[in-house]
Amino acid sequence: MTMKIMPLVLGAAVALAATAANAGTLDDVKAKGFVQCGVSQGLPGFSNPDDQGNWTGLDVDYCRALAAAIFNDPSKVKFSPLSAKERFTALQSGEIDVLPRNTTWTMSRDTALGLNFVGVNYYDGQGFMVRKSLGVASALELSGANVCTNTGTTTELNVADYFRSKDMPYQIVAFEKADEVVQAYDAGRCDVYTTDASGLYAQRLKLTNPDEHMVLPEIISKEPLGPVVRQGDDEWFNLAKWVHFAAINAEELGVTSANVDEMKNSETPSVKRLLGTEGEYGKAIGLSNDWAYNVIKHVGNYGEMFERNVGPSTQLGIARGLNALWSKGGLQYAPPVR
Partner 1 sequence: MAVEDARPERATDRASWINDPKVRGAFYQILLVLALAWLIWEIIDNTRTNLEQRNMATGWGFLDETAGFGIILNLIQYSEISNYGRALFVGFLNTLLVAGIGVFLATVIGFIVGIARLSKNWVISRIAYVYIEVLRNIPLLLQIFFWYFAVLRAVPGKREMGTIVPGVHLNIAGLRAPAPVFEEGSTPTVIALILAIVISFVIKGWSAKRQAATGQRFPVLWTAIGLIVVLPLIVFLATGMPISISYPEFRDTGPMLMRGFQEGTGFVLIPEFLSLLLALSLYTATFIAEIVRAGILAVSHGQTEASYALGLRPGSTLRLVIIPQAMRVIIPPLTSQYLNLTKNSSLAVAIAYPDLVSVGGTVLNQTGQAIEIIAIWMLVYLSISLLTSAFMNWYNKRMALVER
Which segments of the chain are extended strands (E)?
35-39, 48-49, 55-56, 77-81, 115-117, 122-124, 126-131, 145-150, 170-175, 192-196, 213-215, 223-225, 228-230
Does residue number 88 form part of the binding site for partner 1 (CB under 8 A)? yes
Q: Are strands 192-196 and 145-150 parallel, antiparallel or unpaired?
A: parallel
Closest among 23, 154, 13, 47 to 97, alpha carbons compared: 23
Nearer to partner 1, 168 or 316 (CB): 168
Does residue number 7 form part of the binding site for partner 1 (CB under 8 A)? yes
Nearer to partner 1, 17 or 219 (CB): 17
Strand partners, 98: 37
Q: Which of helix, strand or coil describes residue 2?
A: helix
**Which residue in 142, 225, 255, 260 binds partner 1 (CB under 8 A)?**
142
Does residue number 15 form part of the binding site for partner 1 (CB under 8 A)? yes
Number of residues that bind partner 1 (CB under 8 A): 64
Q: Report, in Å, the least distance between residue 137 CB and partner 1.
A: 11
Does residue number 135 form part of the binding site for partner 1 (CB under 8 A)? yes
Nearer to partner 1, 172 or 316 (CB): 172
Cα 66 to the center of its chain, rounded Å:
14
Does residue number 214 form part of the binding site for partner 1 (CB under 8 A)? no
Cβ contacts of residue 329 below 8 Å, gap of 6+?
A: none
Question: Amino acid letter at 42?
Answer: G
Contact map string, positions 161 to 190, toward partner 1, x by CB under 8 A: x--x----xxxxxxxxx--x--xx--xxx-
Q: Report, in Å, the least distance between residue 55 CB and partner 1.
A: 23
Nearer to partner 1, 92 or 301 (CB): 92
Q: What letter would DSSP give residue 325?
A: B
Phi-psi region of 328 (alpha: psi -120 to 50; beta: other; left: phi over 0): alpha
Question: Which residues of the chain form contacts with partner 1 (CB under 8 A)?
Answer: 1, 3-4, 7-8, 10-11, 14-19, 22, 84-85, 88-89, 92, 108-109, 111-114, 133-136, 141-146, 148, 151-153, 156-157, 159-161, 164, 169-177, 180, 183-184, 187-189, 191, 230-232
